[in-house]
Structure 1
Amino acid sequence: MSAAPTAIAPADLLEAARVSKAWPFEEARKIVDRLEREGGPDRTVLFETGYGPSGLPHIGTFGEVARTTMVRHAFEILMPGVKTRLLCFSDDMDGLRKVPTNVPNQEMLANYINMPLTRVPDPFEKFPSFGEHNNARLRSFLDSYGFEYEFASSTDYYKSGRFDETLLKVLAKFDEIMEIMLPSLREERQQSYSPILPVSPRTGHVLLVPLVARDAAKGTVSYVEPGTNETVEVPVTGGNCKLQWKADWAMRWAALGVDYEMAGKDLIDSVKLASRICRVLGAPPPEGFNYELFLDEEGKKISKSKGNGLSIEDWLRYASPESLQYFMFQSPRAGKRLYFDVIPRNVDEYLGALSAFPKQDVRERLNNAAFHIHHGNPPAEDLPISFSLLLNLASASHSEDRDVLWGFIRNYAPDATPENHPRLDDLVGYAINYFHDFVRPAKKYRAPADLERAALEELAARLEAADADASAEELQNIVYDIGKNHPFEKLRDWFKALYEVLLGEEQGPRFGTFVKLYGVKQSVGLIRRALAGEDLSKA
């Protein structure tokens, strides 16, 4: 382990934060300016994230909470002493509009189309409703990671009356809201659109129907019940109505006084519309920014209902929550594939950020992802072996035994143990899982060509003759020399041959480091078996 970083003096931290170009500080300064426009910071600042529990929560939902938490921490550095809250709001009163494809009991769910999600039975049969199941699943992960947040249910807020005052404002401002919304809709949708959706007393459905009458004085709306000719009058308050989501978003901002909420790039136009509605309701819209969407393996947008891309549970089988936070921190305005093959690189880059932190000055630290992931106090860690190298070690040894892998690790770092390097021990477990699920099934060994065979024979002989205590750098020089001494068109062709012939992969580690870790004797044996035509997949 490396030495703990020197603490940053508060005055130096504040000075650096005011000019930092790290995106959380850029976002936080928007909120500082907002408070200054109001005349001072004498109130609690409210951060919000929204979640639609119409499908299982995916990793993008976690990302929004993680990123908002980073902005919140940056703001608390810029405005020490100002109280903040983070509200994770679930729109669980929304009607179920389609059946997700990645859940059981789909035929049962089809009977509950248009019902509020908190009145749809849980297809997993674990909670009173589908909405509560998905809420619990999200909260479980957020709690396990230690996020500081408050959870809010749309159903609870509507039915308890917390939104009643603002809902009456929506009714009073109905025509102005319609003027904002109608130009954004297709002509056909304009004929039936209403920002206020009655909840049918007869069926319990959240109805997408036009209103036939409104009474602002009474606080009611009227509609024709589908399937009947009956005109029904219901209050807009008390959970008897639900707003269309753009109007709902604006109503929530106004009712709760939200100061900051980010959203995906696909919602830019929706943010603009909701902001206009929020102003009509007499409140300033929150600050925020639009992040780029996550894409799956095929470059398609990740969807809760389809279940494509990675789940939260998927990532945590192969890597730590901190590495997932690192992925979320990097370039939030750039589109990124969120699939299994991004995990190893993000693990190693996160570990690199941890290792670099103690050596950096205050401004560099504020640009380091580790600062934002660990709220300014990252652990002291400098691991002797990368995650990618561990994967190659598991690949070469074909071992899924922690003790075996630790035996190899001690060849490279004699003082390393699971007890004094618990994070490295975690990585060993992650590497075994990743190797078992992805690396082993994808291995494709090939026999060496004549040119490659001659170079491999020389490599085996040179390694056998190497000093027993040769360093990784000295071993790497041997590999380089052999590549230069043989007529490869490009030096990288030699390394590509090493990976494909010995590891069954197209890419691999710095080979001298790998030999040092795996062991010179074991590496020579691997080369000899490849030259003899043995099936290395069964080694």
Structure 2
Amino acid sequence: MTDFSVLAQTAKAWPFELARALEKRVAEQVKAGERTAEAPVIFETGYGPSGLPHIGTFGEVVRTTMVRHAFEVLTAGKYATRLICVSDDMDGMRKVPDTVPNPKSLEQYLQMPLTVVPDPFGTHTSYGAHMNSRLCAFLDQFGFKYEFLSATDCYKSGRFDAMLRRAAEKYQAIMDVMLPTLGEERRATYSPFLPISPSTGRVLYVPMKHVDAAKGEVTFTDEDGRDVTLPVTGGAVKMQWKPDFGMRWAALGVDFEMFGKDHQANAPVYSKIARILGHRPPEQYVYELFLDEKGEKISKTKGNGISVEQWLAYAPDESLALYQFQKPRVAKKLHFDVIPKAVDEYLTFLEKFPKEEPAAQIENPVWHIHSGAPPAADVPVSFALLMNLVAVANPTDTSQLWGFIQRYAPGTTPATHPLLDELAGYAMRYYRDFVLPAKTYRAPTEHERGAMAELSARLKTFDDAPTSDNLQTLTFSVGTDHGFENLRDWFKALYEVLLGQSQGPRFGSFAALYGQSETAALIDEALARG
């Protein structure tokens, strides 16, 4: 049996690079007496519940899960691990989302903690609780192993109390970190503590008139003009988001966290706050943000890019996990055109896996996507090929596609090849929504017409058992005989005339799947049309 912990010592895949850095950190802390070897290694992800979980949420959790698994393999289970997902649900509601029922009814709750704002959907005790439930359901559908934490619960239950008292003790040190990062006007009113107004219930962005470190209390002017003193514990105040980041690391003993490039400039601030509070900052990893098809940053407000739900309407979630795995520090465009390629790349990696040596398997993305245990792959038809079959067969349901598939790959059925059956359904939806509207057929040139006529004739008289390879050879031969200097032009012509697109699958594979006589008829129809 392969000992992957040995291979993990030199594996180049980025989760192992991060796992090795984390192992070094934990070993140093154990040696220094900062922790015990029995203390679990804490991985954290954060979530802002003002809106629905999105593709960034998925990416952060799936990538962190990959690092967690790599660490467990690297250390051969020497350390226990936990993945906690923290919801910042004590934040004040800054604006009412347009997507909620009766949004005007929530305007009176602006700046109140999300766990105080009523649930406009009528299913939970608060807006924050509703969104937290949506987050957990979102993560559960992918089978993530995690522990959910509500920031409100952590503040109110006393879980953060020790660090909040220490923050009061270190108030000036925290201010010395924060003030240089702020503009002049903001510096005049800034405080790392945000009290919850006793008179209005709102989260207040006001300066502190006095901080009593010994008592763990802060004094400020409330919205009604009275000076009020509150304890920093028990949920009476929360921290500004940058100090909160570092405080949470310290309070929860976080060892690893990754975040998007938009946090990169603030990461040193988070780390300084954690150190001030007596905690070594966690290992951190900054990933690039996705761009839309125009190269612009994806924004929930703009609605550009793709949502998780949209991706999963056209492809399995493993293909999305692959897209998240590949080059996380390179800005990539995330739009619908990338889906088919991601699906076929996933299938290719899955097919290669059992044939690889263990040292290559541990670098294969599917090893990380499936936590070291990829399923057996048997998908004889690519996603691109399925979409082109849909283009010419014009099926109304997947059962019609299976007639072609079973002739191409005898013995396959929806029951024996469920992934292929799923892909057939995805292909039909993707073709209908994205390929069909963009199709542009053209008439062949006289040169192309002669070659296509001969290809049709030779397909009709082809005596060998049709396979992808011999039909590809036949097509290649016809193009050569007709003097195509660049055979790419020949295949491009076939795609544009027969399929209405400039690119397509390996033509021999398409002809074998669709059928040699059906392909000949397709050519004849195109020639008659043009």
Q: For the superposition of Structure 1 and Structure 2, which TM-score range results when normalised by the shorter chain?
A: over 0.9
Q: Indicate the larger mover: 365-374 or 132-141.
A: 132-141
**Paired amino acid for 1:479:** T
**Paired amino acid for 1:410:** Q
**Paired amino acid for 2:372:** G
Q: 1:355: which partner in 2?
A: 351
Q: 2:361: which partner in 1?
A: 365
Q: 1:454 Cα shift?
A: 2.1
**Is the counterpart of residue 81 in structure 1 residue 78 in structure 2?**
yes
For 1:161, which of 139, 158, 161 is the aligned residue?
A: 158
Q: 1:356 Cα shift?
A: 0.9
Q: 2:327: which partner in 1?
A: 331
Q: 2:34: which partner in 1?
A: none
For 1:400, which of 396, 399, 407 is the aligned residue?
A: 396
SS in 2 for 1:261: strand
In 1, are the aligned partners of 2:211 and 2:217 still within 8 Å (CA)?
yes
Q: 1:486 to 1:192 in 2, by over 3 A?
A: farther
Please give the alpha-carbon distance, in whole angstroms, between the structure 1 residues aligned to 2:430 and 2:102.
Answer: 31
**Paired amino acid for 1:23:** W
Q: 1:205: which partner in 2?
A: 202
SS in 2 for 1:444: coil
For 2:215, which of 199, 211, 218 is the aligned residue?
A: 218
Q: 1:170: which partner in 2?
A: 167
Q: 1:445: which partner in 2?
A: 441
Number of matched residues? 524
For 2:228, which of 203, 208, 232 is the aligned residue?
A: 232
In 1, are the aligned partners of 2:466 and 2:516 still within 8 Å (CA)?
no
Matches within 5 A, 1:456-535: 456-467=452-463, 469-488=465-484, 490-533=486-529
Q: 1:200 Cα shift?
A: 1.1
Q: Indicate the larger mover: 176-185 or 433-442.
A: 433-442
Q: 1:124 Cα shift?
A: 4.0
Normalised by the size of structure 2, how large is the TM-score? Answer: 0.95
For 1:134, which of 126, 131, 151 is the aligned residue?
A: 131
Q: 1:511 to 1:348 in 2, by over 3 A?
A: same
Could you list the per-position Cα deviations for residues 24-71 of structure 1 after superposition, in whole angstroms to 9, with x for gaps in the alignment?
111111111112112352311111111111222111111111111111
Q: 1:309 to 1:326 in 2, by over 3 A?
A: same
**Paired amino acid for 1:9:** T
Q: 1:222 to 1:385 in 2, by over 3 A?
A: same
In 2, are the aligned partners of 1:460 and 1:527 still within 8 Å (CA)?
yes
For 1:185, which of 179, 182, 186 is the aligned residue?
A: 182
Please give the alpha-carbon distance, in whole angstroms, between the structure 2 residues aligned to 1:404 and 1:32.
Answer: 53
SS in 2 for 1:46: strand
Unaligned runs of 5+ in 1: 1-7, 535-539
For 2:12, which of 12, 21, 39 is the aligned residue?
A: 21
In 2, are the aligned partners of 1:394 and 1:400 still within 8 Å (CA)?
no
SS in 2 for 1:234: strand
Q: 1:217 Cα shift?
A: 2.3
Q: 1:297: which partner in 2?
A: 293
Q: 1:3: which partner in 2?
A: none
Q: 1:468 Cα shift?
A: 5.2
Q: 1:489 Cα shift?
A: 6.1
Aligned-pair identity in percent equals 56
Q: Cα RMSD over matched residues?
A: 1.8
**Paired amino acid for 1:519:** G
Please give the alpha-carbon distance, in whole angstroms, between the structure 2 residues aligned to 1:190 and 1:297.
Answer: 39
**Is the counterpart of residue 316 in structure 1 residue 307 in structure 2?**
no
**Paired amino acid for 1:516:** A
Could you list the per-position Cα deviations for residues 81-134 of structure 1 after superposition, in whole angstroms to 9, with x for gaps in the alignment?
311110011111111223445555444444432121222334444433332232
In 2, are the aligned partners of 1:95 and 1:115 still within 8 Å (CA)?
yes
Q: Indicate the larger mover: 118-127 or 287-296.
A: 118-127
**Is the counterpart of residue 46 in structure 1 residue 42 in structure 2?**
yes
In 2, are the aligned partners of 1:101 and 1:307 still within 8 Å (CA)?
no
Q: 1:35: which partner in 2?
A: 26
**Paired amino acid for 2:203:** V
Could you list the per-position Cα deviations for residues 358-402 of structure 1 after superposition, in whole angstroms to 9, with x for gaps in the alignment?
111121111011111111111111321111111111112121311
SS in 1 for 2:220: strand
Unaligned runs of 5+ in 2: 32-36
Please give the alpha-carbon distance, in whole angstroms, between the structure 1 residues aligned to 2:529 and 2:103.
Answer: 52
SS in 2 for 1:467: coil
Q: Indicate the larger mover: 65-74 or 414-423.
A: 414-423
Q: 1:180 Cα shift?
A: 0.6
Higher relative contact order (CA 8 A, sep 6+): 1
Please give the alpha-carbon distance, in whole angstroms, between the structure 2 residues aligned to 1:448 and 1:315.
Answer: 36
